[in-house]
């Protein structure tokens, strides 16, 4: 049992048909508290006493999806403790199993849980909710996060929940699995330390429980808090406000200053003016593309995206320079400068409050936690205006921002390309653009940008790139023009950004090039929900283009086996099947729903099977074989039987698609 001193616990439950296992690990300890409820071992008294001590000492539970599942089980146990103490082990486990299935069914049917966070007697931090992994765009299971953070063991629960448990060996298997989930959840908690600290500070300051809040929820709760104070309207009343619209007539919401000189963009404006939307169409109700100076740009209702039609490399030279310009807090500022607000909210108060967040953020250091909080509020507010569950809901407000944002940026795009002889558009994406221009017109570039700023009342931030390696608008590497710094600064840069090129150019003077990687070229500090498969490929491509390294030599130097691994997950009617030969006999093996593997010289062929329509697809098409790597085995990198030809082929194919064309400027 835990000592009678305050501790917080990372925890997880396993609920099987006739066996219940509860595992707790102290936040500041490596020790586990293990409770089994079964006829072979019934720890219900000890478990209840442990939970009662948690309540007495105000000890918190940290979990993965605990608010939606584990905490509900905990509350059931606490509230029926006397009844449970009178029951047998398997009887209790069956009762808990029934509760667990009801909870899962309630979630599947979209019903509210029985116990809200305010009903729970033990406070919770849910790293699943906190990281917004319940959002469809980021949805991630614990197994998937184990994969993305290179957890050593990503094995699925080896025993189905409906299996009748009859032996201690089975119980030990369940305990081993549950401990692995608890320790990996603890690692997620450690990686989320800054986010947890942020939510603690906000909870303390505003007396709103934000410990498990996602960033959109933080934005919603704090905007609600400030707006309630400013307007005098009670939070409860504000929460119930919405503006529901039957139709949105786009021509009525386009800003007066929006106009174009070329026929291509005039047709674009005309297309927008023809749009009439229902609220259900605000996410995918319009698509239109233009071809302009070799670049295809796609417009919709959320933003514009365009890039040079073929993958390629752009470089600054003695005669040409790559300019990049982004609009400062683009979407928030569109609303602020044009005095827009959701129709059901007091306009003056909303606009003043929104602008206050923007102006206050400019005064605060980026190291100050409030800077990050205000950034969350500014960026989330327009998105929440298109969320029917938000008190900010008014889809016309959303469309005012996104449609006028696209058209305003398109104006800058046209002004620059038409106004600068020899200008070459490279890329346009939501809030900014990149353009290759003759160096002699650099001042002209800034002058045009200034004219646009005066017209739109928005601000631009400018920089210069030495090189851009562009796959498409969502996949690129951008290398900034070198900046000079002193010795102490370069030491900090090398420590924080070891992949940046750095060099000594004079005694005490150093240069470095900051680098931005997007999409399939990202390999460093990826968000945990993202697929990090075969990181060695973008890493090698990066070192080729940025540091001039030979791909084959660089690949041979890599020693992290996880960088060679791929990950896949399946849902629904699909299953993974492994085909292999053992002792001359062909065999198949059904695999778990989340797998990790690398490409090897010998191994198996892994395929995806749809058991309804019998479709079959290969994970790696063609001759390539795979070795499963569910459970990490430590050994020298040369003993893993890696097939380097597979990785090098992928790398060289990408490089050949991107290599600069000789005398590229003659193309223009």
Tens of pLDDT, residue by residue over 262-271, are 999 999 999 9
List 588's β-bridge partners, or say none: 579
Locate 341 and state its tokens.
Answer: 């607000």
Specify the residue for token string 């060679």.
564
Give the SS3 label for residue 668: coil
Please give the mean pLDDT across all residues of the chain.
93
Strand segments (E) across 530-570: 565-569
Phi/psi class of residue 368: alpha, beta or left (left: φ > 0; alpha: ψ in -120 to 50)? Answer: beta
Q: What is the pLDDT of residues 595-610, one digit of tens each?
A: 999 999 999 999 999 9
Task: Give the closest residue to 530 by CA, choosing from 569, 581, 489, 491.
Answer: 569
Q: Report yes or no: 327 and 429 within 8 Å, Cβ to Cβ.
A: no
How many residues does the structure list for the chain? Answer: 668
> 314, 436 in Cβ contact below 8 A?
yes
The CA distance from 50 to 81, in Å, is: 12
DSSP state for residue 385 in the 8-state scheme = T
Between CA 65 and CA 527 the distance in angstroms is 18
Q: How far apart are CA 520 and CA 477, in angstroms?
A: 10
pLDDT tens digits, 283-329: 777 899 999 998 999 999 888 999 987 788 999 999 999 999 999 99
CA atoms of 151 and 276, how far apart (whole Å): 50
Q: How far apart are the first and last CA of the chain?
A: 75
Q: How far apart are CA 514 and CA 495, in angstroms?
A: 13
Residue 363 has pLDDT above 60, yes or no: yes
Using DSSP bridges, classify how beta strands 424-429 and 432-438 pair: parallel, antiparallel or unpaired.
antiparallel
Cβ–Cβ < 8 Å for 199, 210 = yes
| Region(s) of the chain under CATH 3.90.1600.10 | 248-480
Which tens digits make up the pLDDT trace of 568-583?
999 889 999 999 888 8
3-state DSSP assignment of residue 10? strand
- Short-list 559, 645, 561, CA closest to 598: 561
Check residue 482 and report its DSSP letter.
P
Phi, psi of 485 (to 5 degrees): -140, 170
Q: Which residues contact 578 (CB under 8 A, 6 or more apart)?
A: 588, 589, 590, 591, 604, 605, 606, 628
Which whole number is the average pLDDT over 107-116? 88
Residue 378 CA to residue 658 CA, distance in Å, equals 37
The pair of three-digit structure tokens given for residue 59, joined into one six-digit string: 């000890």
Q: Taking the CA of residue 83 as centre, how many other CA atoms within 13 Å lie in the half-sphere pointing to its CB?
A: 9
Which phi and psi angles does 490 have, rounded to 5°? -65, -30
Does 102 have pLDDT greater than 70? yes
Contact 89, 38 (CB under 8 A): yes
CATH number for 248-480 (one of 3.90.1260.10, 3.20.20.70, 3.90.1600.10, 3.40.50.2300): it is 3.90.1600.10
Q: Please report, for residues 201, 608, 628, the alpha-carbon distance to residue 592 in angstroms, rounded to integers and kept in the order given.
A: 40, 11, 11
HEC string for 46-85: HHHHHHHHHHHCCCCEEECCCCCCHHHHHHHHHHCHHHHH
- Strand duo 574-582 + 605-610: pairing: antiparallel
pLDDT tens digits for range 122-180? 999 999 999 999 998 899 999 999 999 999 999 999 899 999 999 999 999 999 999 99
CB proximity list for 44: less than 8 A, separation 6 or greater: 35, 37, 84, 85, 87, 89, 92
Are 396 and 335 within 8 A, CB to CB? no
In which residue ranges of the chain is CATH 3.30.420 found? 9-212
- The pLDDT of residue 660 is 54
Question: What is the CB-side half-sphere exposure of residue 128 using CA atoms within 13 A?
Answer: 23
Query: Quick one: fold of 9-212?
Result: Nucleotidyltransferase; domain 5 (3.30.420)
- Spatial contact of 203 and 217, defined as CB atoms under 8 Å apart: no
Q: Which residues pair with 305 in a beta bridge?
A: 298, 429
Lowest-pLDDT range of 367-376, 471-480, 533-542: 367-376
What percent of the chain shows pLDDT beyond 70?
98
Query: Rounded to whole angstroms, what are the CA distances from 183 to 25, 27, 66, 328, 572?
Result: 8, 10, 15, 41, 28
Report whether 303 contacts 408 (CB < 8 A). no
**Contact (Cβ atoms closer than 8 angstroms) between residue 88 and residue 39:** yes
Going by pLDDT thresholds of 50, 70 and 90, the confidence category of residue 666 is: very low
Helix (H) or strand (E) holding 151: none
640: exposed, middle or buried (C-beta count within 10 Å: 0-12, 13-18, 19+)? middle
208-254: pLDDT as tens digits: 999 999 999 999 999 999 999 999 999 999 999 999 999 999 999 99
Q: Torsion angle, CA of 403/409/415/420, rounded to 10 degrees?
A: -150
Closest CA to 123 of 211, 188, 196, 197: 211
Q: How far is 279 from 281, CA to CA, in rounded Å?
A: 5
Please report the pLDDT score of residue 662 as a whole number.
40
pLDDT above 50: residue 667: no
Question: Quick one: pLDDT at residue 302?
Answer: 86
CA distances from 330 to 35, 66, 303, 379 (A): 53, 37, 11, 9
What is the band of 4 on the pLDDT scale with cuts at 50, 70, 90?
A: low
Does residue 426 contact residue 473 with C-beta atoms inside 8 Å? no
Q: Mind listing the pLDDT tens digit for each residue in 415-456?
A: 999 999 999 999 999 899 999 999 999 999 999 999 999 999
Tokens encoding 600:
């090897």
Lowest pLDDT segment from 57-61, 199-203, 360-364, 633-637? 360-364
Q: Which structure tokens are listed for 152?
A: 């050593």
Is the pTM for the entire model greater than 0.85?
yes
Q: How deeply is 203 buried, as exposed, middle or buried, from its count of CB atoms within 10 A (0-12, 13-18, 19+)?
A: middle
Q: How many CA atoms lie within 13 A of 132 on its CB side?
A: 12
Rg (CA), the chain: 28
Evaluate if residue 1 carries a pLDDT over 60.
no
Torsion, Cα 107 236 211 388, to 10 degrees, reads 50
Contacts of 266 (CB under 8 A, 6+ apart): 260
* Per-residue confidence (pLDDT) for residue 327, from 0 to 100: 96
């Amino acid at each position: 049992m835990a000592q009678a001193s305050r501790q917080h616990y990372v925890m997880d439950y396993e609920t099987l048909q006739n066996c219940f296992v509860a595992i707790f690990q102290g936040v500041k300890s490596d020790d586990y508290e293990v409770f089994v409820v079964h006829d072979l071992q019934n720890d219900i008294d000890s478990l209840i006493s442990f939970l009662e001590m948690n309540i007495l000492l105000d000890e918190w539970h940290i979990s993965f999806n605990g608010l939606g599942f584990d905490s509900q089980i905990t509350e059931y146990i606490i509230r029926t403790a006397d009844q449970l103490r009178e029951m047998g082990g398997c009887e209790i486990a069956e009762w808990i199993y029934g509760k667990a299935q009801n909870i899962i069914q309630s979630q599947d049917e979209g019903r509210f849980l029985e116990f809200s966070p305010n009903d729970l007697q033990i406070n919770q931090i849910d790293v699943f909710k906190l990281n917004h992994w319940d959002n469809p765009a980021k949805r991630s299971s614990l197994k998937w996060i184990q994969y993305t953070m290179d957890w050593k063991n990503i094995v699925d629960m080896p025993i189905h929940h409906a299996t009748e448990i009859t032996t201690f060996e089975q119980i030990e298997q369940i305990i081993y699995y549950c401990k692995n989930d608890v320790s990996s959840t603890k690692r997620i908690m450690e990686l989320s330390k800054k986010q947890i600290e942020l939510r603690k500070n906000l909870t303390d300051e505003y007396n709103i429980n934000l410990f498990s809040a996602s960033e959109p929820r933080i934005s919603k709760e704090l905007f609600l808090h400030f707006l309630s104070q400013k307007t005098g309207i009670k939070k409860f009343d504000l929460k119930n406000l919405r503006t529901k619209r039957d139709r949105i007539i786009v021509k009525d919401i386009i800003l007066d200053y929006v106009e174009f000189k070329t026929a291509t963009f005039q047709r674009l404006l005309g297309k927008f003016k023809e749009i009439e939307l229902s609220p259900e169409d605000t996410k995918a109700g319009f698509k239109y593309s233009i071809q302009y100076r070799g670049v295809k740009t796609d417009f919709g209702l959320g933003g514009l995206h365009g890039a040079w039609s073929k993958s390629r490399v752009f470089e600054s030279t003695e005669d040409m320079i790559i300019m990049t310009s982004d609009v400062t807090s683009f979407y928030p500022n569109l609303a602020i400068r044009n005095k827009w607000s959701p129709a059901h909210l007091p306009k003056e108060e909303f606009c003043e409050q929104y602008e206050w967040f923007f102006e206050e953020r400019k005064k605060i250091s980026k190291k100050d936690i409030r800077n990050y909080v205000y950034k969350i509020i500014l960026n989330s507010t327009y998105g929440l205006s298109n969320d029917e569950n938000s008190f900010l809901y008014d889809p016309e407000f959303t469309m005012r921002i996104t449609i006028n944002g696209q058209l305003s940026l398109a104006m800058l795009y046209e002004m620059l390309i038409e106004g600068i002889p020899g200008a070459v558009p490279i890329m346009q994406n939501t809030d900014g653009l990149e353009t290759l221009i003759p160096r002699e017109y650099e001042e002209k570039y800034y002058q045009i940008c200034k004219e646009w700023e005066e017209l739109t009342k928005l601000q631009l931030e400018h920089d210069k790139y030495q090189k851009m390696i562009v796959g498409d608008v969502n996949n690129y590497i951008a290398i900034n023009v070198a900046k000079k710094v002193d010795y102490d600064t370069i030491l900090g840069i090398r420590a924080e950004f070891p992949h940046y090129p750095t060099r000594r150019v004079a005694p005490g003077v150093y240069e470095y090039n900051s680098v931005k990687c997007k999409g399939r070229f990202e390999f460093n500090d990826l968000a945990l929900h993202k697929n990090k498969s075969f990181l060695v490929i973008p890493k090698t491509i990066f070192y080729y283009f940025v540091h001039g390294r030979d791909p084959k030599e660089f690949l041979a130097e890599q020693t992290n086996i996880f960088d060679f691994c791929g990950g896949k997950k399946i849902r629904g009617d699909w299953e993974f099947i492994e085909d292999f030969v053992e002792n001359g006999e062909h065999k198949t093996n059904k695999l778990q729903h989340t797998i990790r593997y690398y490409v090897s010289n010998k191994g198996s062929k892994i395929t995806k099977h749809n058991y309804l329509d019998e479709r079959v697809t290969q994970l790696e098409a063609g001759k390539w074989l795979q070795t499963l790597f569910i459970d990490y085995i430590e050994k020298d990198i040369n003993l893993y039987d890696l097939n380097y030809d597979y990785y090098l082929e992928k790398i060289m194919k990408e490089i050949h698609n991107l290599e600069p064309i000789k005398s590229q400027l003659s193309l223009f």
